[in-house]
Structure 1
Amino acid sequence: MEELKHIKAILFDSGRVLNHPRTGHWFIPPNFFSYVDQEKFKLISQNKIEGALHKALQYMDNNPLIRNEAEEYQHFIHFYKIISIELASLELNREQIEGLAHDTVFNDDKFKFYEDVFKVIPELHNNYKLGVVSDTWPSLDRVFRNVGLRRYFSTFVMSSILGVVKPHELMFQTALTELSIKPEEALFVDDNIRNLEGARKLGIHTLGLLRDIESGTNSGHLCINNLRSLQQLLER
């Protein structure tokens, strides 16, 4: 793509682009059923579960500024306390709630990275400045460090540190400033069209990465389904 010839930096979303929840759900950590009775959980309707999660997420949305893992842990204690109230039949006690929060924050195994990440990201790092721009909490930084990927990203913008989420301009501008690049010198890769549109309004080039669909065009945005395809586009 001709417009990508002058790209100096690539900004990546994290969730569903570089990694995904190992259990298939962001708020069901790996040891969820060590603290929650699985048979009781199965008896609850999906609508009721989604309603409980929605209410707990409203609390997180209303308290967006979370600056470190200790604060993240306390917020998730409150998160699962709301779940326990809404899903009273689970009969969760304080110890179980704290266990769920601890597993959500401190268990690196909560995320699984896509296989192409470990090969392609180091290769891209040889030619471009790289950054992460993600709606997430502080523990993500630790997870990236412990799998050996953090060193490839010169900026690591997390929504909870700034207190805003994408597509807020501050998320993108922080990354651009830390990389010392202009918007037109950056490419932003995300799985959310709304976020891509927000970046595009700032003059940043955009690319959708939708792991579960065929490459093509979605809502006016070129979309691919793996990182190798990104490399191929940049090499054209």
Structure 2
Amino acid sequence: MTSGPASPPALRAVLFDSGGVLMRPIGGRWNPRADFEQTVLAHAPSLTEQQFAAAIAAGDRFFAASPSTPDPDDYHRAMLRHLGVDPTARLLADLRRDVHPSAFLETYPDVEDTLAELSRRGVRMAVVSDAWPDLPEVHAGLGIGRFFEAYAISAVLGCTKPDPRMYHHASTALGLVPGECLFVDDDPELVAAAIGLGYAGRALRRDGTVSAVPSVSSLTQLLDFF
């Protein structure tokens, strides 16, 4: 008598993307930070809105061409050079000065309660994000850092999703196999990549749009898996 296929392992963890899933920028722009123009104008007051728009577009191209999340100073230099502004050490320091995350970022309304309930149920959690190295500090400032045991951050690992190293770093840090982890991202293609690696996956589509991969419209729906 032959046995049937083995049952998939039970889910024990959630791997979250950060931007677009856990938090969003106040005002709608991720990069550069919302105080970029004001900071640069303090050093070069004659710049126009049109010049800033062109420089930010140049920064977007620099980001897109980078194999991983670029160093913040290199990113700022790309925009400053487009503006014709000397990227002095003082200006670069001003652009990366510490500002409380809540000045520019906010968590989505469904985030904290969902994370707290997942934690109460013993679900382990990690973050897989294309981000700068200070993401854990950003999450701590927004009051959600305490929920995460591990981070897979592109600027630290030197690669971005959908590179398998991003997903595997998080699950390995938790001591779990892919099938024990549910990956959640607002980009369906990155969810599809995770599913292809053996993870469970859900695309977060808060606007209700149809996705080619299984999706949820709110993080609270993740509670149905645990």
TM norm. shorter chain > 0.5: yes
The one-letter code matched in structure 1 to 2:218 is N
| Structure 2 CA distance for aligned equivalents of residues 27 and 76 of structure 1 | 10
Q: Residue 43 of structure 1 aligns with which residue?
A: 50
- Where do 5+ consecutive residues of structure 2 fail to align? 1-6
The 3-state SS of whatever aligns with 1:99 is: helix
Q: Answer yes or no: is the 8 Å Cα contact 1:120–1:227 preserved in 2.
A: yes
Q: Residue 69 of structure 1 aligns with which residue?
A: none
| Structure 1 CA distance for aligned equivalents of residues 32 and 57 of structure 2 | 15
| Structure 2 CA distance for aligned equivalents of residues 224 and 134 of structure 1 | 19
| Structure with higher helix content | 1
Q: Percent same amino acid at aligned positions?
A: 26
> Match for 2:225 among 217, 224, 234?
234
Once the two structures are superposed, what CA deviation does each residue of 1:5-54 show, in whole Å capped at 9, x if it has no partner? 921111100000000122311223242232134984423385x3454113
> Match for 2:78 among 75, 78, 82?
82
Q: Answer yes or no: is the 8 Å Cα contact 2:55–2:80 preserved in 1.
A: no
Q: Residue 31 of structure 1 aligns with which residue?
A: 35
Q: Structure 1 residue 15 and structure 2 residue 19: aligned?
A: yes
| Structure 1 CA distance for aligned equivalents of residues 96 and 52 of structure 2 | 23
User: 1:190 Cα shift?
Assistant: 0.2
Q: Answer yes or no: is the 8 Å Cα contact 1:23–1:29 preserved in 2.
A: no
Q: Residues 202 and 147 from structure 1, CA distance in 2 versus in 1: closer, same or farther, beyond 3 angstroms?
A: same
Count residues in correspondence. 214
The 3-state SS of whatever aligns with 2:222 is: helix
The one-letter code matched in structure 1 to 2:62 is A
| Structure 2 CA distance for aligned equivalents of residues 56 and 194 of structure 1 | 22
Q: Residue 155 of structure 2 aligns with which residue?
A: 160
Q: Residues 65 and 32 from structure 1, CA distance in 2 versus in 1: closer, same or farther, beyond 3 angstroms?
A: closer
Q: CA RMSD in A?
A: 2.8
Q: Residues 218 and 4 from structure 1, CA distance in 2 versus in 1: closer, same or farther, beyond 3 angstroms?
A: farther
Q: Structure 1 residue 146 and structure 2 residue 127: aligned?
A: no
Once the two structures are superposed, what CA deviation does each residue of 1:132-173 show, in whole Å capped at 9, x if it has no partner? 111111111111123332221122111111111111111111
| Structure 1 CA distance for aligned equivalents of residues 23 and 161 of structure 2 | 18
- Where do 5+ consecutive residues of structure 1 fail to align? 67-74
